Structure 1
Amino acid sequence: MPATDVHLSKTLSWLLRHKLQVSTDGYISVANLLNHESLKGKYTVADIKRVVETNNKQRFTLRYKNNTLEICANQGHSIKYVDLYLIPILTSDGIEAIHGTYYHNWTKIKTEGLSRMQRNHIHFAIGLPDNKSVISGMRRQVEVFIYVNLNLAILDGIKFYKSSNGVILSSGNDRGIIEPKYFLKVCDVNGKSLF
């Protein structure tokens, strides 16, 4: 992706996930978006369409509603009232839910669990970064892989969902945590077991 498209993609993510007032389903009109001071006069509708179409992680969705082009970020919101279309996961049915992180975070995570922090959800990929079918859900540079026992967590009432771009999302327990007791296994990027 050209540098200008990378910048636009990051700006769109920031605006749609954390800054702008979007509809309850996460959408805003592209015309309104282009009027934001971060974008005004710098980008066009064609630029936004191109970034949405070429984003390898499929972070955005475009739709027409009442003849108005709208855009939303598929996940990652810190805006509390956004209620995205998410498919509930009721059983693992062979789905892997893997959270990627870094060594410097692992010490805290192994005792306290995974936290959604300021976001609405904890993010999981359905495979490792080298799996071609994994388009989103974890950064390629992560050093530690935490596999979650979906069935056990679901039985205990923790809700999981699948987003439109294949990311597994969970708000965790009532404190926004997925506790270590739900970790199926943890290994580092070299395959060494850490848990």
Structure 2
Amino acid sequence: MNIEDLLNHKTIRDKFSLEDIKRVVEVDNKHRFSLRYEKDIQICANQGHTINVVTNLELSPILGTEDIQLIHGTYSKNWDNIKNEGISRMKRNHIHFSKSLPGDRNIVSGIRSDAEIFIYINLKLAISDNILFYLSVNGVILSPGNDKGIIEPKYFLKVCNRFGQIL
């Protein structure tokens, strides 16, 4: 989105400046946004979240030849549904994955630090079944899932709790 358009929006106008927006981008510890300097300054979401009109996310396709560990973090209350139905993108555009567990200093986003259950995905099998995966600018791995927005349990390599116990 063009910064000038954002700054002229009725809920933003006269309340925030370009410097405020730059500061938000700079201090966000999950790197949710980036600035693009083309003919105008633009603010870009690094992940699409729930906005359906976002079409220019800077996502790199993952082809399955990469040696990537793929982990989805969730909570115990969700596990019964997930183990039967799969991981759903719900109202988001993508399911979010991380390359590592919480606490890894190289991971800034993609998995919540308070997740209780970790689902490891068989990336090669999922890609061979035409499920798409992308790497975002901030290192989060995203997938729209299958045609129903699901990563089915058949793609789970292993599932464990935060103590490393296999479920």
**TM-score above 0.5, yes or no:** yes
* Residues 1:71 and 2:43 are matched in the alignment: yes
Matched with 1:45 is 18
**Structure 2 runs not aligned, ≥5 long:** none
Sequence identity of aligned pairs in percent? Answer: 58
Residue 64 of structure 1, CA deviation: 1.9
Equivalent of 1:93 in 62, 66, 69: 66
Indicate whether 1:104 and 2:53 are aligned. Answer: no
Normalising by structure 2, we get a TM-score of 0.93
CA distance in 1 between counterparts of 2:112 and 2:18 reads 28
User: Matched residues in 1 for 2:140 and 2:123: separation?
Assistant: 14
Q: State the distance in 1 between where 2:18 and 2:51 align.
A: 24
- Residue 80 of structure 1: SS of its match in structure 2? coil
| Alignment pair present for 1:138 and 2:105 | no
1:92·1:150 contact (CA, 8 Å) conserved in 2? no
- 1:22 is matched with none
State whether residues 98 and 126 of structure 1, in contact with CA within 8 Å, keep that contact through their aligned partners in structure 2: yes
The SS at the match of 1:169 is strand
Residue 16 of structure 1 corresponds to which residue in structure 2? none
Residue 143 to residue 37, structure 1, CA distance change in 2 (3 Å): farther
Q: Report the secondary structure of 1:131's partner residue.
A: coil
Q: Superposition RMSD on alpha carbons, in Å?
A: 1.4
Match of 1:129 among 95, 98, 102: 102
1:78 aligned partner, one-letter code: T
Q: Partners in 2 of 1:43 and 1:184 — Cα distance?
A: 47
Shift of 1:40: 3.1
Deviation at 1:92, TM superposition (A): 5.2
What is the TM-score with the length of structure 1 in the denominator? 0.80
Equivalence for 1:13: none
Q: Return 143-152 or 38-47, whichever deviates more.
A: 38-47
* Aligned-partner Cα distance in 2 for 1:109–1:144: 11
1:152 to 115, 125, 130: 125
Structure 2 vs 1, CA of residues 92 and 140 (structure 1 numbering), >3 Å: closer, same or farther? Answer: farther
Partners of 1:38 and 1:126 in 2: how far apart?
Answer: 37
Distance in 1 of aligned mates of 2:35 and 2:47 = 14
Q: What amino acid is aligned across from residue 33 of structure 2 in structure 1?
A: F
1:48, distance to aligned residue in structure 2 (A): 1.1
Measured against aligned partners, the alpha-carbon deviations of 1:127-181 in whole angstroms (never above 9, x if no partner) come to 1111111111011111111111101101111111101111111111111110001
Q: C-alpha distance in 2, partners of 1:193/1:41?
A: 54
1:23 counterpart residue number: none
> 2:42 is paired with a residue of what secondary structure?
strand
The structure that is helix-richer by fraction is 1
What secondary structure is seen at the aligned counterpart in 1 of 2:164?
A: coil
Q: Give the Cα–Cα distance (whole angstroms) in 2 for the partners of residues 105 and 40 of structure 1.
A: 41
Q: Helix, strand or coil for the counterpart of 2:157?
A: strand
